[in-house]
Amino acid sequence: MSRRVVLAAAVLGLAGYIFVYATGRADPPIRSDGYSYYVYLPAWFIHGDPGLSAVARDCCGGEFPAFTAIIRWPGTNQWVNAHPIGVAVLQTPFFLIGHGLTKWSNISPDGFTMYYQHAAGLSGLAWTIAGLYMLRRLLRRNFSDRVTAATLVTLFLGTGLYHYATYDSSYSHVYSFFLFATFLYLTELWWTDRRSRWELSILVGVVAGLIVLTRHTNALFLLMFPLYGVSTLASLRGAVSSLAARWRELAAIAIAGALVMLPQLLIYFRATGRFLVSSYGDLGFNFTSPHLWGVLFSVQKGLFFWSPLLLLAVAGWIRGHKATRPFVAGALVVMAIDIYLIASWWDWQFGSSYGHRGFIDTLPLFALGLASLFEWSTERPRRTLAVSIVANLAVFLSVFQMLQYWNGVLPMSDLTWDQYRSVFLRLR
């Protein structure tokens, strides 16, 4: 059943994608943040210029527009992109197909015409489905097929995931969703399969490297690996001695991760003379005044306001399950820091977006909690009924509000409570 859910998600995602672009609800996919995540591909494959200057000359008369957050580095005058190369790396197979079709049809091969646009857009959808597939593999290790299927369906439709797989699929979030789901799966496999497996270690390193390449602050998520299975001080000591005993595999992980990240470091070095840069320029964090309420509960972008389904996931984590227990310490640390970082970002609403897009990345963690609650609900028919009703209502509300956003009924940011009430359950 859960396998069919992944297949159905692919079909439903493709239908939604076609709908938003065929009806003109969304501008072409390579836009806003999606532009600067993608721009490396025409630079590498069409212009052969990792420095981005050739793309700037071709697309924009020599200067990138302000919305791209691609800035000239003071001193060197070279272009530095606020967004790293990870998304572009994962988009590469789709880009090459789009490039081939573009040349075949003699459409302008500038990196931004129609086949490139939809290669980038469909790439996001494909990696979302790959993420659901990896999540299914993770959940099936500890949950029944029915619970896994219910978790995948509700997560896909009851959160912003469907929106970011279709309407805004060129942003980084669904790529991180795939990488996080894969990282959790590999982490559990690495710790529970005691045999020394070099291939697995290298794979963990590659995925860890891609996580950092996709969004630097997501390096935080790598803490899930050493904190796996930790619940007490004694278990922390046990984890440390386990890691020490398997140092050769750890070295393989570190080397693989470093090799994956090397191109990004070289790009930074070429542009700035430094390997590590804060590529956001003057934009940054306000650590002394985090908008914690805003990012979690506010009408503007509150995570639980726009995806109330995730409250069930929190309940599932609190209730606990053998599948969630090894991840508890890591999830607590990662989510606490992640919420604080997101709430401290100068634009805590993350610009124009549906719900809070900053949390799409960590949905695999919420999936574990959701599955835990669904498993608990199956113990008694009344619980099953109650949880089903709540989950279905949450999914309905999420899908309806997403359609409101697509129709332009909901503003893209700075929504007020009065505005929300005035358009509640209205599609036009």
Contacts to other proteins by CB under 8 A: 57-63, 65, 101, 104-110, 112-114
Minimum Å gap between C-beta 258 and other proteins is: 37
Minimum Å gap between C-beta 370 and other proteins is: 36
Minimum Å gap between C-beta 29 and other proteins is: 14
Minimum Å gap between C-beta 43 and other proteins is: 14
Between residues 7 and 393, which has the closer beta carbon with respect to other proteins? 7
Taking the C-alpha atoms of residue 218 and residue 228, their distance in angstroms, rounded to an integer, is 17
Taking the C-alpha atoms of residue 225 and residue 331, their distance in angstroms, rounded to an integer, is 10
User: How open is the CA angle 412-417-419, to the nearest 5 degrees?
Assistant: 60
Taking the C-alpha atoms of residue 365 and residue 369, their distance in angstroms, rounded to an integer, is 7
Between residues 110 and 145, which has the closer beta carbon with respect to other proteins? 110
Between residues 104 and 288, which has the closer beta carbon with respect to other proteins? 104
- Report whether 277 contacts 229 (CB < 8 A): no
The tally of CA atoms less than 13 A away on the side-chain side of residue 327 is 33
Inter-axis angle of helices 363-377 and 328-344, nearest 10: 130
Minimum Å gap between C-beta 376 and other proteins is: 42
Between residues 108 and 196, which has the closer beta carbon with respect to other proteins? 108
Minimum Å gap between C-beta 127 and other proteins is: 22
Tell which phi-psi region holds residue 136, choosing left (phi > 0), alpha (psi between -120 and 50) or beta: alpha
Between residues 113 and 352, which has the closer beta carbon with respect to other proteins? 113
SS3 414: coil
To which H or E segment does residue 81 belong? strand 79-81
- Report whether 186 contacts 137 (CB < 8 A): no
Task: Output phi, psi for 360, to 5 deg.
Answer: -60, -35
Q: What is the dihedral of CA 10, 122, 409, 65, to 10 degrees?
A: 160
Output the CA torsion sign for 350, 353, 354, 360.
negative
Between residues 8 and 54, which has the closer beta carbon with respect to other proteins? 54
- The two tokens of residue 7 are 């297949």
Minimum Å gap between C-beta 44 and other proteins is: 18
Between residues 49 and 58, which has the closer beta carbon with respect to other proteins? 58
- Report whether 168 contacts 34 (CB < 8 A): yes
Minimum Å gap between C-beta 106 and other proteins is: 5
Taking the C-alpha atoms of residue 168 and residue 166, their distance in angstroms, rounded to an integer, is 6
Between residues 63 and 193, which has the closer beta carbon with respect to other proteins? 63
SS3 71: strand
